[in-house]
């Protein structure tokens, strides 16, 4: 199983998920704001309530920023996500609007490769036509039912 999330929180990990691709990054990690700096993202749960003192990179001295993808930036882990989509036989999408790309296009990639596509969420997604099945309702209620059905 491959789990991709648009959320920046650690709730999937807290629930026990192991292989999670955080396409929009992780709010409790930071990284250097210099795109050419080799410093890798690091765990950071500090609160920065004022501009001073904002931390600087220990490698190049540029400002440190949250390790999240802001609008206009390229999401993270797209290569791993594409590999998973190309190789999957079931693409289960939960609780997204289906209108924000590139994530809204993931279902088309999986479906083009022959995967069964299922949406679970409270409202019909904007990309509803790409799904084989749409299950409406809260994911916390309907997802366990869908998974039980798939596994039986």
The residues annotated as belonging to the active site are: 24
Could you tell me where the DSSP H helices lie in 64-133?
78-87, 106-112
What number of other Cβ atoms are within 10 A of residue 119's Cβ? 24
CB within 8 Å of 4: residues ≥ 6 apart: 20, 21, 23, 77, 81, 84, 103, 106
Q: Which of 131, 138, 48, 139 is nearest to 90 (CA)?
A: 131
């Amino acid at each position: 199983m491959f789990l991709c999330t648009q959320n920046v929180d650690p709730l999937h990990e807290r629930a026990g998920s192991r292989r999670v691709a955080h396409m929009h990054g992780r709010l409790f990690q930071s990284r250097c704001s210099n795109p050419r700096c080799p410093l890798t993202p690091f765990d950071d749960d500090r609160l920065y309530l004022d501009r001073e003192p904002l931390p600087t990179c220990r490698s190049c001295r540029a400002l440190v920023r949250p390790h999240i993808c802001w609008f206009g930036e390229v999401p993270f882990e797209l290569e791993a996500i594409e590999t998973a989509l190309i190789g999957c036989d079931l693409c289960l999408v939960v609780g997204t609007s289906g209108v924000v790309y590139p994530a809204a296009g993931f279902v088309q990639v999986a479906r083009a490769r022959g995967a069964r596509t299922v949406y679970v969420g409270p409202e019909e997604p904007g990309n509803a036509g790409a799904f084989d099945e749409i299950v409406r309702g809260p994911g916390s209620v309907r997802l366990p039912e869908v998974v039980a059905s798939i596994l039986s």
